[in-house]
Chain A
Amino acid sequence: MAANKKIEELHEKRKKILLGGGKQAIEKQKAMGKRTARERIMALLDKDSFIEYDLFVEHDARDFDMDKKSLPSDGVIIGSGTIYGAQVAIYAQDFTVAGGSLGQMHSRKITKIMDYALKMRMPLIGINDSGGARIQEGVNSLAGYGEIFFRNTISSGIIPQISVILGPCAGGAVYSPALTDFVFVVDKISKMFITGPEVIKTVLGEEISMEDLGGARVHSEITGNAHFFSTSEEECFAQIKRLITFIPWNNGRKAKSFEPGEPDKKYNPEKIVPDDPTLPYDVRDVIRSIADNSDFFEIMELYAKNIVIGFGRMGGRTTGFVANQPLEMAGVLDVDSSDKAARFIRYCDAFNIPIITLVDLPGYLPGVDQEHAGVIRHGAKVLYAYSEATVPKITIILRKAYGGGYIAMSSRHLRADFVFAWPTAEIAVMGPEGAANIIFRKEIMSSDDPDKLRKQKVEEYKAKFASPYVAAARGYVDAVIEPKETRRFLMHAIAASENKVVKVLEKKHGLPPF
């Protein structure tokens, strides 16, 4: 009897806490098109897999009448469960409890699950929906953020860290997502900024809506802070689950293998790339023509579209793809595309994912804005990331590989393990027009018919250098292959580099051009 009573008491206690901020607050949350924190966890994890910790945690703030306030679970839910059977640690801020504000115990719950994820070497998923620091708790709340940022940093490169922004995430709080590997946002729900519209208005007199300042679209298209954009929470969770299938659970493992399937025949590599190097095509079709089942999971689809990054599989194994996109800005490297590619290359390297690089670029984007935005420093990130990466690196030169762009895009010189080139490849210091203009400047200028001579010289240069054979003659290219042979060569390269070993010089850490 007594035991039964105690069990009943537990039920009662649970029931009360599980209601979070109460019915009214939940209705408000729903009216914004948002699910509650627990609903989100249930929607994301495998059915009945979630085990919650720290349900009964309470704050012990005294000031500003806080001692009279009860905040169920202190506004954050932590625990672990599975996604497609893989163990993950998760936390979700509960906006219905004091606006999901972060106080000392709230932050201790988050850091507890972070420590757990790191110790157990499993992915960590953080669902952010919070008004920010709990001001009543003063510096303790700031300390909480600092403890989270520290753990994000020390866990980086050991366990995958995923941030899901499903509400406001403002001020210092945005630095936790910024330190993690992948940030998911949902249109009209996610809001991220350092200083909000009100502060901007009072200080600077500029008026802007939350959506235009730091909405999902802004971070997906303009800032590059977000990696995955969706239009509903449901779609967002589907994206997270798909990502989980591609990445290993920690840096000591490889991603789970899947049964390989042949690419869809509608992607014919012989027909995708036009021979004329100035004409565009969608490089994602080339990826689909070589990846297992033509399955390509693109990352940062809306940002710096001139470079394409994402995961696919080769022979069942996860592979990172990096490809210049001639369809957008001719596939140039610039400040944004360099940042995008470099970070992805480092992710693949940290998590044992081989990298396949598809090259077709005219070089770097010229312009005062690019130079002043620091394209030297940002462009250097690509060189650093490829040079530093010790995972298998396989390069296919599809068409143009000019100048610094040739070197940067996983060339032999940065220690690519395999470099293949299509017969359409042009490996040269620059395009034929530019090169002829420089090499034969005097002749052209003093000619009676400069245009005719220029054309002639361009053709001469094309015939001599606009091919893969000069580079192949030096061994910078391992094989010139037919487009239709690409998958076979790639499968060979991936299989051959399965046990690749590279000795890295001992050091504390390098200094990438951040």
Chain B
Amino acid sequence: MKKTENLGILKINSSLYKTRLSPKYINRKSYKPSNPKTIISFIPGTVLDILVKEGQNVRKGEDLVILDAMKMQNIMKCKIDGKIRKIHVNTGDKVSKGTILLELK
């Protein structure tokens, strides 16, 4: 029977159901807890300015990067006290959403 081709298994409350799995379900993103040590672009845009240097000590609330996106200059702030471990981008870089801009330690 054609209709029962490409069946997968869906587990709900310990029961295993034989069924077709939707592309949305198969391609769903698995959850990752946010890490305050990595600064990620929350929107695609252009890196307008990097306000810190590698090895520099930074405090919570300090400005790190200015990201030009949606006709706005978005200031990305530090979420914890720490030290800049690595800067992954240069001024003028176009970055997509989710790009790691810099890492702290």
Residues of A near any B CB (own CB < 8 A)? 203-206, 222, 277-282, 305-306, 326-332, 336, 362-363, 365-369, 402, 430-435, 437
Contacts and interface: CB of A to CB of B under 8 A. Distances in A.
Contact of A433 (B13, B28, B46, B69): B13
B11 to A, nearest CB: 9
B17 to A, nearest CB: 4
Contact of B19 (A330, A431, A434): A330
Q: How large is the interface on B (under 10, 10 to 19, 20 to 34, 35 or more residues)?
A: 20 to 34
A280 B19 contact: yes
Interface in B34-63: 43-46
Given A206-B44, A367-B28, A368-B31, A280 B18 contact: yes
Interface string B70-97: 1100000000000000000000001010
A363 B15 CA distance: 11
Given A363-B12, A431-B14, A327 B20 contact: yes
B48 to A, nearest CB: 14
Contact of B13 (A204, A281, A402): A402
Closest 10 CB pairs of A and B: A434-B13, A330-B17, A433-B14, A368-B31, A431-B15, A330-B19, A434-B14, A204-B44, A362-B12, A430-B13
A328 B25 CA distance: 11
5 contacts: A205-B44, A278-B15, A328-B19, A329-B20, A433-B15
Given A203-B70, A280-B4, A433-B13, A329 B25 contact: yes
B22 A366 contact: no
A362 B24 contact: no
Contacts of A277: 15
Given A204-B69, A362-B15, A363-B13, A327 B3 contact: yes
B18 to A, nearest CB: 6
Given A204-B44, A329-B10, A305 B15 contact: no
Contacts of B20: 280, 305, 327-329
Nearest to A370: B28
B71 A203 contact: yes
Nearest to A434: B13
Contact of A326 (B13, B19, B46, B94): B19
Contact of B12 (A205, A305, A336, A431): A431
B14 A437 contact: yes
A282 B19 CA distance: 10
A282 B12 contact: no
A336 B28 contact: no
A328 B3 CA distance: 10
B19 A305 contact: no
A324 to B, nearest CB: 11
A366 B12 CA distance: 7
B99 to A, nearest CB: 11
A278 B4 CA distance: 13
A437 B11 CA distance: 14
Nearest to A405: B12
Contacts of B14: 431, 433-434, 437
Contact of B15 (A204, A282, A434): A434
A274 to B, nearest CB: 10
A430 B14 CA distance: 10
Nearest to B16: A278
